[in-house]
Amino acid sequence: MARRRRKRSGGSGSIWTKAGNTWIQWRENGRRCSRKFPGVDIKTREAAELALRKITLNIARGKAGLEGEQDGAPVLSELAKTWLARRQHTHRSWRDDQNRWNKHLKPVVGHLHPPEVNQATIRRIVEAKLVEGLSPQTVGNVVRVLSTFYTDLIEQGFAAANPARGLPRSTRRLIKSTHDPRQTPFIDKHVDIGRVYAKLGQPFATMFAVGALAGLRPGEIIGLQWGDVDVAARRILVQRQVRHGKVGPTKSGKPRLVPIIEPLAKILAEWKLATGGEGQLFRPLNNRGPSRFMAPESMITKLREAFEACGLPKTWTWYNASRHTYAAQHVMGGGSLATLREILGHSSVTVTERYAHLRPDLFRPEDLIKLSVPMSRDGGTVHDLAAAREERVAGGNPVATEGTGAPLRSEVTS
């Protein structure tokens, strides 16, 4: 069966080949317009696609389609400067986006105009980055930055379409993450949680306890104030986090209440007496330094030292030891995923469901298939192994025993 021809979206025109030529067609002012490109090779096809994108962009701007000149239009590197500058005030991940643009995208597409980037360009970027040794997930993040950038360009009127949208399956398969969230490590033994806490000095021991027993993110732990902690009412109000030394909202942008379990309540009560119970829960070790907050690097360094002392993997992160540990222990203890979502502050239950495989009732007896299938085999003969053993002993053969050391009792053969 012939493959069905895929139609272009409305307003994007069409391309076809006929009699050794490549043709483009578009609609302008209610009239159907076309243009011929001699040849049917790949370069001719790419030139035709580029011309069609320029024409549709001009029409979207209210210009004549065949004006098509991009000489005075800004290139992507110039447009990205404005985009990233605006993004600083609206998105918490703007630094990551800036790094991905400068390192991976700008050298490849920075000199191009918006209509000159197509899906073939993105495919070449993906393949090149994979050859460089980047993980599929990292390359996928690079493509997502480009897609977000083009969404803004469309809103600003510099692009007519987003080339990163609707990528073919062959390209999407290359950037599919290979990470299995079910394999995320955590501290599974309660005794090991206590051992790590005992090996840490203050304030890192209390910081670890807040993460492992309440599920807070590292930035949320650093940003805690004593006014957010109500030990008597057994709850913490999580309403801010610290990233790159600056205070901002939580990752979801919403405050949330987190319960304080009994072991954590005792630890926080002792820490409140030790610190006076005012201002920040965890102040930086060097109060004369430029930062007002604890450095994340100090946290992970101390945690790895405690891991090494306890015989645990040093490659685990603070997330593994605290937040993921809390979530896993909550689920294994029979807690619901809906409650866990509220405690962790996930924006979607899909993220919380990565812990579903740890549920103790994942395979309940009533969920298992019940089959009444006769599995015995007719025609077997029952042998008296005791008599057979005596014959072997009499004949000088060794006595057969099971792996447990118990003598064999009976055997069925057919």
Question: What is the predicted pLDDT for the residue at 99?
Answer: 94
Per-residue pLDDT tens over the stretch 164-220: 988 999 999 998 877 776 778 888 889 999 999 999 999 999 999 999 999 999 999
C-alpha gyration radius of the chain: 32
Strand order in the sheet with 235-238: 229-230, 235-238, 256-259
What class is the 190-358 domain?
Answer: mainly alpha
The two tokens of residue 316 are 């685990």
Decide if 196 contacts 187 (C-beta within 8 A): yes
Read off the pLDDT of each residue in 127-145 and give the average, rounded to a whole number: 92
Please state, as a whole number, how many other Cβ atoms lie within 10 Å of the Cβ of residue 70: 17
What is residue 408's DSSP assignment? P
Read off the pLDDT of each residue in 326-330 and give the average, rounded to a whole number: 89
pLDDT band at residue 411 under the 50/70/90 scheme: very low
Question: What is the predicted pLDDT for the residue at 414?
Answer: 40
Burial of 299: CB neighbours in 10 Å, binned 0-12, 13-18, 19+: buried
Burial call 271-291: b when 16+ CB within 10 Å, e when fewer: bbeebeeeebbbebeeeeeee
The two tokens of residue 39 are 């040849």
SS3 312: coil
Taking the CA atoms of residue 343, residue 349, residue 352 and residue 355 in that order, the dihedral angle to the nearest 10 degrees is 130
285: closest CA among 204, 186, 405?
Answer: 204
Question: What is the predicted pLDDT for the residue at 94?
Answer: 86
Classify strands 235-238 and 229-230 as parallel, antiparallel or unpaired. antiparallel
Question: What is the predicted pLDDT for the residue at 158?
Answer: 82
Q: Flag whether pLDDT at 388 surpasses 80.
A: no
Mean pLDDT check: name the lowest of 147-151, 168-172, 332-336.
332-336
Name residues whose C-beta falls within 8 Å of residue 386's C-beta, 6 or more positions apart in sequence.
Answer: 407, 409
Give percent of the chain above pLDDT 90. Answer: 35
CA–CA separation, 146 and 143 (whole Å): 5
What is residue 376's DSSP assignment? -
Please state, as a whole number, how many other Cβ atoms lie within 10 Å of the Cβ of residue 257: 14
HSE toward the beta carbon, residue 370, CA cutoff 13 A: 4
DSSP lists the bridge partners of residue 382 as 412
CA–CA separation, 216 and 222 (whole Å): 10
Decide if 160 contacts 60 (C-beta within 8 A): yes
Better pLDDT: 123 or 2: 123
Better pLDDT: 317 or 378: 317
Per-residue pLDDT tens over the stretch 251-310: 888 899 999 999 999 999 999 999 988 889 998 877 655 568 888 888 999 999 999 999
Question: What is the predicted pLDDT for the residue at 72?
Answer: 55
Question: What is the predicted pLDDT for the residue at 391?
Answer: 78
Domains 76-179 and 190-358 share a fold: no
HSE toward the beta carbon, residue 313, CA cutoff 13 A: 11
Calculate ∠ Cα 205-209-210, nearest 5°: 120
Better pLDDT: 399 or 121: 121
Torsions phi, psi of 407, nearest 5? Answer: -70, 145
Computed over every residue of the chain, the mean pLDDT equals 82
CATH topology of domain 76-179: DNA polymerase; domain 1 (1.10.150)
Give percent of the chain above pLDDT 70. Answer: 83
CA–CA separation, 201 and 205 (whole Å): 6
CA–CA separation, 317 and 186 (whole Å): 9
Per-residue pLDDT tens over the stretch 28-83: 777 788 877 777 888 788 888 888 887 887 777 776 665 544 555 688 999 999 99
Instruction: Indicate the helix (H) or strand (E) that contains 222.
Output: helix 218-222
Mean pLDDT check: name the lowest of 85-94, 117-126, 275-284, 360-369.
360-369
Please state, as a whole number, how many other Cβ atoms lie within 10 Å of the Cβ of residue 140: 18
Going from N- to C-terminal start, the domains of the chain cover: 14-60, 76-179, 190-358, 372-401+408-414
Residue with tokens 């000489």: 71
Better pLDDT: 123 or 356: 123
The two tokens of residue 25 are 């067609």
pTM of this structure: 0.61
Instruction: Indicate the helix (H) or strand (E) that contains 390.
Output: helix 385-395
Decide if 117 contacts 100 (C-beta within 8 A): no
Q: Flag whether pLDDT at 238 surpasses 90.
A: yes
Instruction: Give how far the C-alpha of residue 169 lies from the chain's centroid of Cα atoms, to the nearest Å.
Output: 20
CA–CA separation, 181 and 380 (whole Å): 49
CA–CA separation, 10 and 189 (whole Å): 58
